[in-house]
Amino acid sequence: HEDQLLDEDQHEQPVTVGRSLKFENPYEDYKILKCIGVGAFGKVHKARNLKTGHLVAIKIQDCTNDNLMDLLQECMLQERFNHQNIPKVMDKYYWEQKLYICMELCEGGDLDNIYMSTGSLKESQVAFVAKKVLETLLYLNQKGYVHRGIKPNNILLTDAGEVRLVDFGLMSRIQKEKPEFIVGTPAYMAPESVLEDLSGDYDERCDVWSLGITLLELAEGKLPLVISSSNSLYEYWEQKQRVPHLRKRDKWSPAFHRFLKDALTLDPAMRPSVELLLQHEFVRNVEHEPSPLKRCLRRSKFLGSIRKFF
């Protein structure tokens, strides 16, 4: 219980994690109900707290002595963030070589699954996602972090259609630690992550680019650039330099076209910051409630139950 991790936010003062990391059997506190997601390092399950009856999501990851600290760092970052769009961590256990992270359940699932089942989103729904993700990114930027993993798969919805951002495993400090390796999912990665001459000092704006690609995907129902490796991303930008845009010009408002043009500015030095984009006409007047995504959640659930039936 005396393990210590470095807390970067507190000027590298060590903080004790032993107090809140439980070295106990999690199955005595939670009943696993069903698997709701699969990640690179483990699975996410829906579960019930046996004392309170509350439903939670439990991420279960295999641990070795080598990766335990990395996984804990990611979880502790998520724990430390206090923002309505970031799922709260309630408990964490280390038991029989596995890490169990119990957090707020986002019953709606991720936007990747949702749009694949219901079809592309409407403009008002895309604008809502844009605003919520920008607000979360602004919070992270103010704390000094770049997310580096913005994509539909990491944007979850609660039952009420509220947006939650997850996956803090690729996150890094703004301008402090450029990742040693190219990190992220290539199709969403900003051109500067592979083009040296563009990299400059505009680190946090890579999230703005990834958000632009994400919104295009949600609106059109498919990825604008089909790129599966950082090599092919490099080749694409070396040869074509054609910036993705909405194909059907008349289907979308001029504000949406302009927003994407701004977010997908090739040169990060010219790309607007998160703060500036929050003032953009496309998102400025988006209401916080009610969520326009609630309707597509109902549809996704309905389609899910029909599929189960057949």
Ligand X SMILES: Nc1ncnc2c1ncn2[C@@H]1O[C@H](COP(=O)(O)OP(=O)(O)OP(=O)(O)O)[C@@H](O)[C@H]1O
Under the rule (CB under 6 A), what is the footprint of ligand X?
A: 36-42, 44, 57, 59, 87, 103-106, 109-110, 153-154, 156, 166-167
Residue corresponding to tokens 């829906």 = 46
The type of residue at 172 is: S
Instruction: State the minimum distance, in angstroms, from the CB of residue 7 to ligand X.
Output: 22
Nearer to ligand X, 41 or 95 (CB): 41
Tell me, what amino acid is at 81?
A: F
What residues contact 293, with CB distance under 8 A and at least 6 apart?
A: 108, 121, 125, 128, 129, 157, 161, 163
Q: Is the dihedral of CA 135, 141, 102, 34 positive or negative?
A: positive
- Identify which of residues 44 and 76 has a Cβ nearer to ligand X in the complex: 44
Nearest Cα to 210, choosing from 157, 158, 133? 133
Task: Kindly provide the residue ranges of all beta strands, DSSP E only, lying in the chain, ordered along the sequence.
Answer: 4-7, 13-16, 21-22, 30-38, 42-49, 55-62, 89-95, 98-104, 109-110, 145-146, 155-157, 163-165, 172-173
C-alpha 231/C-alpha 252 separation (Å) is 33
Task: Report the residue closest to ligand X, judged by CB.
Answer: 37
Alpha-carbon gap, residue 174 to 203, rounded angstroms:
6
| Amino acid at the residue 143 | K
User: Residue 162 CB, nearest distance to ligand X (Å)?
Assistant: 12
With respect to ligand X, which residue has the nearer C-beta, 79 or 246? 79
Shortest CA distance to 140 belongs to which of 82, 66, 60, 209?
A: 82
**Least separation, in Å, of the C-beta of 38 and ligand X?**
6
Residue 276: alpha-carbon gap to chain centroid = 20
Buried b (16+ CB within 10 A) or exposed e, 45-55: bbbbeeeeeee
Give 266's DSSP letter: S
Given the complex with ligand X, which of 69 and 198 has the nearer CB atom?
69
CB of 114 to ligand X, least distance (A): 10
Nearer to ligand X, 158 or 265 (CB): 158
Shortest Cβ 207–ligand X spacing (Å) = 15
As given in the structure block, the two tokens for residue 243 are 């910036």
CB of 89 to ligand X, least distance (A): 9
Q: Alpha-carbon distance 129 to 135, whole Å?
A: 10
> Is 248 among the annotated ligand-binding positions?
no
Nearer to ligand X, 126 or 150 (CB): 150
Smallest distance, ligand X to C-beta of residue 22, A: 19
Q: How many residues does the chain have?
A: 310
| Nearer residue to ligand X within complex by CB, 78 or 265 | 78
Annotated binding site for ATP: 59
